[in-house]
Amino acid sequence: MSLQRPAFHRSATLKLLGVGFLALLMAIPLSMLDDLRREREGRRGEAEQALAASYGDAQRVGAPLLRVPVEVHETRSDGVVVPHRYWRYLMPDRVDAEAVLTIDRRRRGIFELPVYQADVTLATTFSQPRAALGAFDGEVAWSQAELVFGVADPRGLRRIAPDFEEVEAARTESLGEGPGGLSMFRLARVDLAQRDTPVVGQLQLGLAGSRRFDWLPLAREYRAHLSAPWPDPNFSGAFSPTRSRIDANASEAAWQVLEFNRNLPAVFAGGEIDAAQMSAQAFGVGLYEPGDVYQRNERTLKYGLLVIALSFGVFFLFETLAKLRLHPVQYLLVGTALATFFLVLLAASEHVRFGIAYLMASVVLIAMIAGYAGAVLRRPRHGALIASWLALLYATLYVLVGAEDYALLAGSGLVLALIAATMYLTRRIDWYAFGAPVPPELPTAAEQAS
């Protein structure tokens, strides 16, 4: 009697290809979950923007500037002479800036935003303001010189207190948009027609903002110091701190920027510096939150297909080694449950800490799949083995998600170890014989005689 060829549904090769196709098919719900994550992250961004709009957005703080009006006369093509007035600005010779931040949180629905109140002091020195402004074309109204100051978001201003020596006090008022897109304010009037002595003083600010606090080095020598009760600062921008200190409860940093370090002129006319040039020189601190919930969900989802493929592989090994049969529908049910883990994790992590959400979702999933596996594999021991495998897999995944810098190295090592384990466990399997029907036993001589 010739042996029959293995039927389609009993061929190990075809079954393995089918399991692989089912694993790839699970990329569809994983992609939908990633779209949902992006939508939720977008909603959080909208909530943060609304909070920032009402409280104060990321702030950029420069320094007091001296400005003088200059009148020039332009001759039109028809011969008519038209007067034209513009402002010429001068940066200080030195600024010593100090900021102390107090951190708070504001909520909108389930989303929250780190905000701050900053007490800022800008000690400012103009050594020889009239000589530093130099000579230029036009008629200069030296007696109408002013001290002005710019900030990124005026909604966050709580207090402006200028204190300069031998300077005529003036009511602080808004001047609209100024150089670099900053909102400008008049601080005081300085009669440079009668003096060319140093202008020295300080400006104190009460400033509210969110997400970031930046300095603008608008001085020939700009020294800045910042401290905040924030354990995870992101010191970034055009210049790195000359020194910094970070501990479990607070952080501080100091910067020094000289005139030749920055790409801004010390004397300039209004309109010569645009917003992009100004913001490119900013530096400071971002209120970085490590392990952002949506970033962690994104990194977890990136391993989703690998988790499902490895789990399908374990079920296939049980089929192979224990000579059991599983239907493709059962694989799909297990895959759907594995994909649901990421949905539960995303939903729970918006309300509790990510670690707790991960533990809750993984425990529920492992219990559900282990119970189902014990039933379909017909042995509770097999369900316990599946539970142990999933517990190890999800524990490893949690470590990978938390280890940003070493995630690729650890993930590739895990895949290599699993491939090696699979090769070891299946080294004695005759894949050609697997699934072939067993031929009937031939009758013995005694049975044939009878």
Measure Cα distances from 169 to 68, 164, 190, 364, 430 in Å: 17, 9, 9, 69, 95
- Cα gap 83→85, rounded to integer Å: 7
- Cα gap 107→45, rounded to integer Å: 12
- pLDDT grade, residue 6 (50/70/90)? very low
Contact 179, 272 (CB under 8 A): yes
Domains of the chain: 8-42+294-425 (no CATH), 58-289 (2.60.40)
The rounded Cα 108 to chain-centroid distance in angstroms is: 19
HSE of 44 in the Cβ direction (CA atoms, 13 Å)?
Answer: 17
Looking up tokens 């969110």 gives: 210
The rounded Cα 158 to chain-centroid distance in angstroms is: 29
Question: Does residue 334 register a pLDDT over 90?
Answer: no
Backbone dihedral angles phi then psi of residue 249, each to the nearest 5 degrees: -120, -20
Long-range pairs, 413-422, Cβ under 8 A, ≥24 = 415/306, 418/310, 422/313, 422/317
- pLDDT grade, residue 434 (50/70/90)? low
- Cα gap 287→115, rounded to integer Å: 9
Other CB atoms closer than 10 Å to residue 328's CB: what's the count? 13
- Cα gap 107→109, rounded to integer Å: 6
- Cα gap 239→83, rounded to integer Å: 42
User: The tokens of 257 are what?
Assistant: 């920027």
Question: Does residue 407 register a pLDDT over 50?
Answer: yes
pTM of the model: 0.71
Residues 31-78 pLDDT 10s: 898 899 999 888 888 888 888 887 888 899 989 999 998 888 777 777
Residues 65-99 pLDDT 10s: 999 988 887 777 776 767 778 889 999 999 999 99
Mark residue 19 as left, alpha or beta (left: phi above 0; alpha: psi -120 to 50; beta: remaining).
alpha
For residue 70, the surrounding DSSP H or E stretch is strand 65-75
Question: Does residue 287 register a pLDDT over 90?
Answer: no
User: The tokens of 343 are what?
Assistant: 């949905």
- Cα gap 230→249, rounded to integer Å: 6
- The radius of gyration of the chain's CA atoms, rounded to the nearest angstrom, is 35
Q: What is the pLDDT of residue 118?
A: 93
Backbone dihedral angles phi then psi of residue 256, each to the nearest 5 degrees: -140, 125
- Based on DSSP, count helices (H) and strands (E) in the chain, helices before strands: 11, 18
- Cα gap 312→332, rounded to integer Å: 10
- Cα gap 213→99, rounded to integer Å: 9
- 285 beta partners: 213, 235
Question: Does residue 1 register a pLDDT over 50?
Answer: no
Residues 146-178 pLDDT 10s: 999 999 989 889 999 998 887 877 778 888 888
